[in-house]
Chains A and B, each alone.
Chain A
Amino acid sequence: MMKTFDLRVKQLLDGDLSLADLPPELRAEGEEALRLIAAVDRAPVTLTPALDTRVMTAVRQHAKSPARRAWRWLAAPREVELRLRVRPWAVWGGALAAAAALALLLSRPPAPAPSAFHNVAFVRFVLYAPGASRVAVAGTFNQWDQAAAPLVPAGTAGVWTTTLALPVGQHQYAFVVDGRRWIADPAAPAVDDGFGRRNSVVAVTTQGARTL
């Protein structure tokens, strides 16, 4: 049968008690336990300098991959400067044409409001988080920016909600409670993000959004 350490000896190993705190009958067991821990090799570990070279070689190769470059090109924000050189009569002419087009539009019977634009659908996010002082939703659609999409308290106590216009496609997201706690949406399926945390998944189509 396995002989276990007394709880007080375990507390000694945890640093919560000292050897002097143990009753005399436990001293020998305490000393045995301390000998076990004393055998730990705490020598510093040095890895070969070649590790840095190998990592950076792999990193440079990966950075050159066409898919990664294409994604970076698409995702990188750019400043666009637009310069116009116009004559005053053209400005007035343009304004008149725009006013005429607007009047024409307003005179037509109203069409039913579409629930989704061509490539965008409105998705409502809801989280029940009683006691939270702020809640946000962060995901692939806003570069995981915690400040981009705050939720507001709904009528029912503890319920937070927001509606976002999301492009068609599959998105991963999570709620951020009080700026530090990341939690998956309990109402949606979740996938492992590869690092031990869970991301929720929503698929947006022109017909609306659905959880996968």
Chain B
Amino acid sequence: MESRDAVTDGEIVRGVLAGDVELYAVLVERYRDRFARYAVRMLGSHDAAEDALQDALVRAFDRLADCREPDKFAGWLFLILRNRCFAEQRRHQREGRLSEDAAEAVAAPERSDGAVERHEQARELELALGQLTAEQREAFVLKHVAGMPYEEIAQLTGATVASLKMRMHRAYDRLRELMKEYR
């Protein structure tokens, strides 16, 4: 019997388009956790991240016929999720709402002084990330949270390596300034 993991994204997309709707569950299972960390760190909240992922997955299904390269479904889905996260973050910034849930998105500390201090730093950094532009925050998340090299980020986002580095360097300076303000 063929394993579900052995089926390529392209085969699944073509199967769903041919009418086998239940096959889409394989793509949901395959990508929900892979993109979860990106969404949580971009939006600073588990709830907002879940909403964004759900919205992106349903939207991708609705527009599956527009997926020009079914074998590159992951990159296409990422772009949908990315647009959703950017829109959400801009809406928050326009409304002057900081990510009040940022602390919630940071893993809870263990019971030791060092751990509590690390947790506090992580919470401050999460708040500071909420002050960056969506593009700066994305570059930071993909580079330092997901651990991706610039070349891979460039491929994923369509930006050049040079512009990504410029974006990131501005983010470093802004984060330094914000972290000082919090202390």
Contacts and interface: CB of A to CB of B under 8 A. Distances in A.
A13 B150 CA distance: 12
Interface stretch (A56-64, A92-100, A125-133, A163-171): A56-64
B34 to A, nearest CB: 10
A14 B169 CA distance: 9
Interface string B140-181: 000111010010000000100000010011001101110110
Interface stretch (A17-25, A38-46, A103-111): A38-46
A47 B83 contact: no
A70 to B, nearest CB: 13
B36 A46 contact: yes
Interface stretch (B2-10, B16-24, B90-98): B16-24
A139 B96 CA distance: 41
Interface residues of B, number: 58
A14 to B, nearest CB: 7
Contacts of A63: 21, 61
Given A59-B61, A195-B83, A43 B107 contact: yes
Say whether chain B's binding surface is mostly helix, strand, loop, or mixed.
Answer: helix
A55 B58 contact: yes
A88 interface: no
B36 A36 contact: no
8 contacts: A2-B177, A45-B37, A59-B61, A60-B21, A144-B68, A194-B66, A195-B80, A197-B79
Interface of A: 2-5, 7, 9-10, 13-14, 32-33, 35-37, 39-48, 51-52, 54-56, 58-60, 62-63, 72, 75-76, 138, 143-144, 146, 182, 193-197
